[in-house]
Amino acid sequence: MPINKASLLVLESFVRQRGAKGEKKLRVIFLGPPGSGKGTQASCLSEKFGIPQISTGDILREAVTNKTGLGIKAKEYMNKGELVPDEVIIGIIRDRVVQTDCENGFILDGFPRTVVQAESFDEMTKEKNIPVDVVLSLDVSEELVVRRLCGRMVCKECGNNYHTEFNLPKKKGICSRCEGKLYHRPDDEEDVVRQRLKVYKETTEPLVDYYRQKGLLSVINGEDEISNIFNQLVNVLEGVREN
């Protein structure tokens, strides 16, 4: 049977939306204050749904470690708990979301963080025809965030997180997963944490309403057990994928 142009267009639009295997793509934005646990959850969701976690914080930290031009520029903002300029971050995301591993979707962890970034991402997604499906937001109180971050220890090798109070490694200062060395992020010092939270409240929190108005928002209590939070997030994403 010959395929006419109309049915070809319908098929193309289906594949664009669902991928060649018929699965709906999942393009997810993850909001939440620093220390809300969104990095940990995004990493587990990435594994569960087979889509990459794109953490702007991780991309910048890698650039700082490698002392690239981007890293040298970003380091001074990061160590003070300030945001890296919008145009730098937007450029990173513009290049990243078109890479082949994003074909079935992605989880943005730490982007957007300003209204300018969100508006620019809206334009980008329209232009590239990669609409966002859902915005997850983890809700956690400020005091819990400070406690979590000030005690956080991170593995230099695999990025696994520990805590001096809630989640000790088997051997002090050593990652239980890969034996890498643990370190305390310079921006997890209390004064910097307070500054990061101030920036979050003033600049990033307005995005919760921004996405609520677009009908994309799903808020989850980030103070629950890690596994309960994960199950709730999975339910949300499975619901999105089935629709």
Binding site for ligand AMP (CB under 6 A): 34, 56-57, 60, 77-78, 81-84, 89, 110-113, 117, 187, 196
CA distance 216 to 48: 21
Active site residue 27: no
**Helix/strand/coil percentages in the chain, nearest 5:** 55, 15, 30
Tokens 């989850």 correspond to 220
Active site residue 185: yes
* Alpha-carbon dihedral 87, 90, 92, 96, rounded to 10 degrees: -160
Among 94, 185, 212, 241, which one carries the catalytic annotation?
185
Minimum distance of ligand AMP from residue 220's CB (angstroms): 18
Which residues, 6+ apart, have CB-to-CB distance to 119 below 8 Å?
none
Q: Which residue, 25 or 113, is less far from ligand AMP as judged by CB?
A: 113
Strands laid side by side in the 161-163 sheet: 161-163, 152-155, 182-183
Tokens 């799903």 correspond to 218
Minimum distance of ligand AMP from residue 204's CB (angstroms): 8
Active site residue 194: no
Q: Which residue, 93 or 217, is less far from ligand AMP as judged by CB?
A: 93
Active site residue 147: no
Q: Which residue, 25 or 196, is less far from ligand AMP as judged by CB?
A: 196
Minimum distance of ligand AMP from residue 77's CB (angstroms): 5
Among 25, 61, 75, 113, which one carries the catalytic annotation?
113
Cis bond leading into 112, ω under 30°? yes
Q: Which residue, 10 or 114, is less far from ligand AMP as judged by CB?
A: 114
Active site residue 196: yes
The residues annotated as belonging to the active site are: 38, 113, 152, 185, 196
